[in-house]
Every structure is written in structure tokens, then in C-alpha cells.
Amino acid sequence: MTRDDLFNTNASIVQGVAAACAKACPNAMFLIISNPVNSTVPIFAETLKKAGVYNKKRLFGVTTLDIVRANTFVAENQGFDVNTTNVPVVGGHAGTTILPLLSQVPGAKFSEEDIAKLTHRIQFGGDEVVAAKAGTGSATLSMAFAGKHFASRLISAMKGEKNVVECTFVENDLTSAPFFSTKVRLGPNGVEEILPVGPLSAFEADSLSKLVPDLIVQANKGIQFANK
């Protein structure tokens, strides 16, 4: 199933859920995990805006699966403990819009070949799952794990835990894209602080410049759907 297929299936579902939430629980925290996240988060936002209840601090695209994969693959490559490996992943949640910041992994040393292969594997890890299941399914257990992790972290922040930082796809002005996944400090009211992307390698800076136009196109697709 392509991202376009997912959009055609999920766009109206997400829009309907958003409309119901706008009436029933407008002040809730909304964690969007339905793909394509790069488009479904803007759909959810636009639907809440129509109802006059949008709060950008309370809407999150869950991109945690990208971080889970990045941590796993980098730990395997470097011989690290996966439980203490933390790879920032920015951008979006589809293919080449996913950008693991390998240059920011403490103590890691990668060859250029490692960087290219790891980046591609993190971006297209879902394809490995589909192939392993012989086309009969996609990522399910890992997606559930990722969703639970982000939800638990947000709940901890809502209960007062300090310095809870997670990568998530939210509205911000770090780039010209309306939504962008980056490190975010979470708090009782949701987004407490949008953190900067930080220093990038030449490879990462080039990749970032190329992915932003794709994020804009995919966000606009969701916005146009919600407003048609």
C-alpha cells in the first residue's frame, strides 16, 4: 500500500475523528499516528481550526517509530546498548522526509558508507517489515510500542515530570514547512518549548534542504483536503 493509498483510506477517517473530538473533548491532547502523518496532522489541525478549538501545543504527530528504528540500527552498528542510545530524528514521517541526525549521537563514529546505509534503512525500515511478512502486513508491534512510548512520556510531562524531551511532528517555524518533527520539551500543557535542530553535518544539511519542499507539498495536500 502506497502513501497515496493510505491517504485515500485515512484522510476522511482522521477528519471525522477530529470533528468529533472538536465537539466532545476540544482541550484534549491529540496524538496522531495514522499515516501519512505528514498529511493527517494538517487535516486534524484544519478541522479543529474550523471548529475554533485548535491549539498547536496540544496536537502531535507521533514519529517515535523512526526514533525506535534509528536507536536500534545505530546500536547494532556501533555496539551500543540500545536502551541508552538516543538518535534525534527530524523532518517528517515518510521516506526521505525522515532525517536521522547521526552526527549528534554521542560517542559514535560512522563511515560515509555507514551514514548512507543507516539513513536509508531508517527512512525505509517499514519496507523491511512488509518484505518479512511477505506482503501480508506492515509494522504493528513496533508501531504499538512507539505509540505507547510517546503517550507515556507526554503523560509523565503532564503530571509534572521535568525536562521530558521527545521528537514529534508539530507546528513550528523552524523551517518553511508548517509542520516539522523536531525535539520538543513537553509539559503540563503539551508543547512547552520547540528545541532547535542543532548542528548538522554537510550531508544532513543537504538532506534537510531537500526534504522541506516535500513536507510543504504533503502538508498542503492535507490542508486542501480538509478545506474542500
**Three-state secondary structure call for residue 168:** strand
- With beta carbons less than 8 A apart as the criterion, state whether 99 and 47 touch: no
Instruction: Please state, as a whole number, how many other Cβ atoms lie within 10 Å of the Cβ of residue 210.
Output: 12
Residues 169 and 93: beta-carbon distance below 8 Å: yes
Residue 179 backbone dihedrals phi, psi, to 5 degrees: -125, 140
Q: Which helix (H) or strand (E) holds 190?
A: strand 190-194
Residues sharing a CB contact under 8 Å with residue 88, sequence separation 6 or more, in sequence order? 67, 100, 101, 104, 167, 183, 198
Least Cα distance to 80 among 58, 101, 53, 107 occurs for 107
Residue 149 is a catalytic residue: no
Which residue in 93, 119, 181, 208 is the catalytic one?
Answer: 93
Cα→Cα distances 33→60, 117, 148, Å: 9, 26, 11
Retrieve residue 132's grid coordinates. 518479512
Give the integer Cα–Cα distance in Å for 63 and 91.
10
CA distance 196 to 67: 17
Catalytic site positions: 93
